């Protein structure tokens, strides 16, 4: 157990050390959400008064969803970070060592998780200037949910990167899945605006629950069915996807 923790720490530290030398990427990942905050959120002003809009202020509605959105996009692109490591044989070098496969997997996944948490905190701080006033406990839980989403999506992204080993392929596979999931999760506009059929489809999208839960949590409403469902869903998904990544790590032909 001790060896397992040390190994995970060594790999995580190595990945973070490289990241700290090049912190540019943390900020690149913030560009998109900030642009949405500045250039999209103002548009919502006009629809808050529309019948069926769930919140009184735009920031209460949009910022929690924006945090989930950042988690969705940024962690699902984390696979790009390992493409060159696969290419130059570094991953293979790790795989020949006696290090536990779970440590290898967690080293990479936790790096993405840490980056994402830093980004989420920065988004929250910026949002405070746009009238966002979340509940503190709710926010802590929201970050926990973001952590689970990050584990799930970065595991998937890494696994696909290991399997396709090609940037173009990885981008198209990711877009193919993430874009519809994003549009069907009610981040941009309330799902109540959508036709019944789309609402129906959205009900089988786990991110719909995550987005709804994120709004409850930032309002401080913790004891909600949606919140519980979102956590259960993403605990299961993160375990399954981690297991997939371990299997890929064990078997890929790099």
Give the binding site for other proteins (CB under 8 A).
Answer: 3, 7, 10-11, 14, 17-18, 21-22, 84-85, 87-99, 251, 253-254
Q: How many angstroms separate the Cα of 33 from the Cα of each of 65, 66, 109, 121, 171?
A: 10, 7, 22, 12, 19
53 with 44: CB under 8 angstroms?
A: no
CB nearer other proteins, residue 91 or residue 213: 91
Shortest CB 32 distance to other proteins, Å: 25
Residue 244 neighbours by CB under 8 Å, 6+ apart: 155, 156, 159
Rounded Cα–Cα distance for residues 58 and 133 (Å): 12
- Please identify, using beta-carbon distances, which residue of 92 and 140 lies nearer to other proteins: 92
Distance in Å, CB of 189 to other proteins, minimum: 41
Shortest CB 252 distance to other proteins, Å:
8
Closest C-alpha among 161, 177, 152 to residue 241: 152
> Closest distance between other proteins and the C-beta of residue 94, in Å?
7
In the complex, least distance from residue 232 CB atom to other proteins, rounded to whole angstroms: 34
Q: Which is nearer to other proteins, 18 or 38 (CB)?
A: 18
How far does the chain reach from its first CA to its final CA, in angstroms? 29
Residue with Cβ nearer other proteins (97 or 175)? 97
Name the residue among 124, 49, 113 with its Cα closest to residue 78.
Answer: 113
Distance from C-alpha of 122 to C-alpha of 147, rounded to nearest angstrom: 15
Indicate the residue among 98 and 168 with the shorter CB distance to other proteins.
98
Least Å distance, CB 115 to other proteins, is: 16
Smaller CB separation from other proteins, 95 or 130: 95
DSSP string, 127-163: HHTTT----HHHHHHHHHHHHHHHHHHHHHHHHHHHH
Q: In the complex with other proteins, which residue's Cβ is closer, 51 or 98?
A: 98
E strand map for the chain: none
Minimum CB–partner distance for residue 83 and other proteins (Å)? 13
Nearest CA to 54 among 216, 241, 168?
216
Q: Which residues contact 254 (CB under 8 A, 6 or more apart)?
A: 86, 89, 91, 92, 95, 162, 165
């Amino acid at each position: 157990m001790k060896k397992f923790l040390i190994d995970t720490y060594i790999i995580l530290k190595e990945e973070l050390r490289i990241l700290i030398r090049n912190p540019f990427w943390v900020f690149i990942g913030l560009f998109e959400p900030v642009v949405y905050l500045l250039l999209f959120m103002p548009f919502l002003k006009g629809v808050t008064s529309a019948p069926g809009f769930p919140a009184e202020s735009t920031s209460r509605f949009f910022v929690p969803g924006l945090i989930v959105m950042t988690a969705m996009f940024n962690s699902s692109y984390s696979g790009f970070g390992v493409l060159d490591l696969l290419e130059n044989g570094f991953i293979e070098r790790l795989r020949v060592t006696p290090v536990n496969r779970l440590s290898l997997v967690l080293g990479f996944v936790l790096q993405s998780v840490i980056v994402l948490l830093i980004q989420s905190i920065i988004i929250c701080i910026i949002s405070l200037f746009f009238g966002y006033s979340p509940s503190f406990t709710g926010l802590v839980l929201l970050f926990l949910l973001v952590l689970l989403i990050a584990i799930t999506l970065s595991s998937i992204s890494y696994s696909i990167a290991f399997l396709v080993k090609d940037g173009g392929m990885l981008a198209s596979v990711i877009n193919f899945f993430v874009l519809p999931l994003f549009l069907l999760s009610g981040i941009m506009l309330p799902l109540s605006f959508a036709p019944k059929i789309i609402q129906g489809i959205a009900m089988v999208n786990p991110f719909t629950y995550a987005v709804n839960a994120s709004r409850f949590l930032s309002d401080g409403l913790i004891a909600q069915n949606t919140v519980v469902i979102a956590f259960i869903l993403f605990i299961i998904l993160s375990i399954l996807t981690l297991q997939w990544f371990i299997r890929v790590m064990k078997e890929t032909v790099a």
